[in-house]
Structure 1
Amino acid sequence: MKHRKPGGYSEPSPATYIVQASGLTSREVYQYADGRQESVLRGVYLEIRRGECWGVIGNEAFELELLTQIIGNVRPYGSGRCVLVERGMMRKKRRILPHVFYISGGDTVPGNLNTLEYLMYVTAHFDTPGCERQVAILEMLLQTELYHLTLVPIKYLSAAEKAVVCLLAAGLSRALLVIFSVPELSFDPKLSKGIRHIANRIAGRGGALLIASRDCDMAQTACDHAAFLINGKLTQRGTMDELLTYLDRRAYILENETPEALAGALGRVRPDWILRVFEREVHVYSQNTEKVAETEMLDALLAAGQTVDALQTSKRTLKNAYREVLAGHAL
């Protein structure tokens, strides 16, 4: 059971699952010209355990926001079931629950404070002397490699940096579920790495982080699990390693003046490969989860009697995996 603490926070619950959503359908609908209606979100299934960081990737910002608002209890849902910390939610309740920290951008952060002052302000209710809190905050800023934000007035920060400042506040809280809904923002590698550190901090206290974003690079850096929100449904969910291994099977990018001829010659030598032509490039895909060895690639070019202007090894990325799913090529 949960034991309430001053300030609306709670001690960690022994529950294994932080989020359990099954058959979740939104009340919001798309209205089509022919009079047909379709729920924006349909049959959503998602389970988030303690210590996990999930990234939900999609193209539609509205759908991403709506999903996080339903899970965060900001909006009611139409049908299905959503359970937070193994306790049910009333469908028509519209309030942030005590064990949820919901972030939607960084517009609510006061611009006249710097990051350190803001974090001191939001932790003022803690039963800890101010000097000790300040030391703990500075240590966290060092550990997350976000120390460059410490003394900068928030009004001078970018929108992405302001959102990360809010996430730092969530990292200092005792909330079991932190929702980071930022589909309109992009994050540079340094901020993405900082988000990863904050996610580790949240996981270390037995909580979970849910990120809704269109930034695949950030999600790959920060998250250990991911799911794709496509046409109102969550698809292809799993660990980051699983998604990259099974969905992104592109092994090489070959550049040539006559890519169609190159692809045709290679296809006759290696019919077990998938070859796709993009402008001056031929993309080589494996039909299984094993990467194509460089010696295999060179031997195939030699056997086909072909040369290339450039040969680039393709690293597995969440962006490529997502593109494969969108294109319907995922195996």
Structure 2
Amino acid sequence: MIEQLLQTALDEIQAGHPVMLVSVVRSTGSTPRAAGALLLAGENGLLCGTVGGGLPEHRCLEIAAAQPTVPHRETFVLDNRQAGSLGMVCGGTSEMLFTPLDDPTPLEAALDALRAHAPAWLCLPLDGASPLVSQDDTLPARPAVIELHGQEMLAVRLADEGRVFVLGGGHVSLELAALLHRLDFRHIVIDDRAAFCSPARFPDAERTLVAPFRSLGETLAGGLAPTAADAFCIMTRGHEGDTDAVRFALGTPASYIGVMGSRRKREAMFARLAEEGFADARRRVVTPIGLDIAAQTPAEIAVSVAAQLITWRAAKQAV
């Protein structure tokens, strides 16, 4: 998680410990991670993050330990047919940037932007100089090398602007919210039962809102109004709640609407929505929600839903 990485780096700097940010600048061919992957190394090794694990990451940690204050770039060849390679058979190359962190200011600015849900990019000069934070919303959604202030920099967006509205606070939602937090998805949980929707139950949710599903328009008015960057995961405790939630979601530009339920429940819902004039319900609504991995338990279903949301997010970023 980018927030954890930034906070850890800030804590280490404030404690007077050397810390190195390792990032993948470019990758070609088959490599463990693409551009924008981040790893934070301290004097005792890995602190958090990953650039793909295995031998390349081990080598990065060795370099960071040996030269904790030296900025530089290094290209790793992951093809054992080439001279100077790491002896791996992946077949690609990874260019790594080593950025010593000693100034808390850009890290504080990045954390402030993340916590305010403001669009922001962590920009890492390719000469290894101190990073800066940009809020220029014309920067690319996916990690890329750009020119900024006359320098080449790796720009990494700090957070996706989209939110996941989890409608229903039951067993699957509880498991899903934990995964969404780990996967850096902003999420808001809504249920009509206070006992199933509270900050104590969902500590990592951006908000928990207790409201009837039939009045979601009022609940999500103003700054909470869903946009095309947002998703709905609908898993209320009953058919009526699901239908109310889907009816509302179809009236928004949300680009993902997933509903948990059986085939019989799905067909009954679609028939009712068709009678009400929602001609695009079958096209826009994903049901049963999640990838087909033969999931049974709440945790397994949550994994399938989270995997589908990862695909949805990646498709948005590729546009």
Smaller-chain TM-score bracket: under 0.3
* TM-score of the two chains, using structure 1 as the length reference: 0.26
Which of 1 and 2 has greater Rg? 1
When the two structures are superposed, what TM-score results if normalisation uses the length of structure 2? 0.26
Q: Tell me which of the two structures has the higher relative contact order, counting C-alpha pairs closer than 8 angstroms and 6 or more residues apart.
A: 1
